[in-house]
Amino acid sequence: MVILKLLQSLVKALHSEGTPGQVAAGMALGAILGLTPLLSLHNLLIAALILMLNVSVPGAALGWAFAIPLGFALDPMFDALGRQLLLGTPALVPLWTALANLPIVPLSNFNNTVLLGSLVSALVLFAPIFFGSRWAVRRYRATIGERVRNSALYRAVSASKLYGIYRLFRPET
């Protein structure tokens, strides 16, 4: 079921009406959701951005789906990175201290090693993911995209009810 949904997201994202840039931006934002712990305040902001900005929601879902296992796998690295930033870098302590005593900001749990490490990593990876996925979507559409669009599988997916919901949030070109 999970694989089917992943496939559905992949197909929808690659064949949506959005430009490769919109799909790539969606994937980059979705990757932030997947790389960082989901129930965090910053992810509410990311979700709002995905909905409000004219990016590909299926692209975001695809980026999220791909980034979730990656996030779990890289948690030890995120933990180490966050620990280094929070505890191992004295120069940053005044910054963290200031943030920790501001309203709202502490609710983001930024002072958690895994969260901070994963968030910093996701932000650093945002640009590579964006440009990488934009190039990949372009290449896909230029090569095998049309053949896939005419395939029975694509028609079955696009005829489903989920596709109707998707159309509500499809990128405006």
**Where do contacts with other proteins occur on this chain (CB under 8 A)?**
19, 21-22, 37, 39, 44, 48, 51-54, 71-72, 75-76, 78-79, 82-83, 86-87, 93, 96-104, 106-107, 109, 111-115, 117, 168-169, 171-173
Nearer CB in complex with other proteins: 106/144: 106
CB-nearer residue toward other proteins: 11 or 81: 81
Paired tokens of 117: 């490490």
Distance (Å, rounded) from C-alpha 92 to C-alpha 143?
A: 48
Tokens 């799909």 locate to: 23
| Strand, helix or coil for residue 167 | helix
In the complex, least distance from residue 29 CB atom to other proteins, rounded to whole angstroms:
13
Q: Who's near 46: CB < 8 A, 6+ residues apart?
A: 29, 32, 33
Report, in Å, the least distance between residue 82 CB and other proteins: 6
- Decide: 66 and 34 in contact? Cβ < 8 Å: yes
In the three-class reduction of DSSP (H, G, I as helix; E, B as strand; rest coil), residue 129 is classed as helix
Q: How far is the CB of 172 from other proteins (least distance, A)?
A: 5
The CB-side HSE value for 79 (13 A sphere, CA atoms) comes to 5
Residue with Cβ nearer other proteins (81 or 129): 81
Closer to other proteins at the Cβ: 1 or 39? Answer: 39
Give me the least distance between CB of 156 and other proteins, in Å please.
27
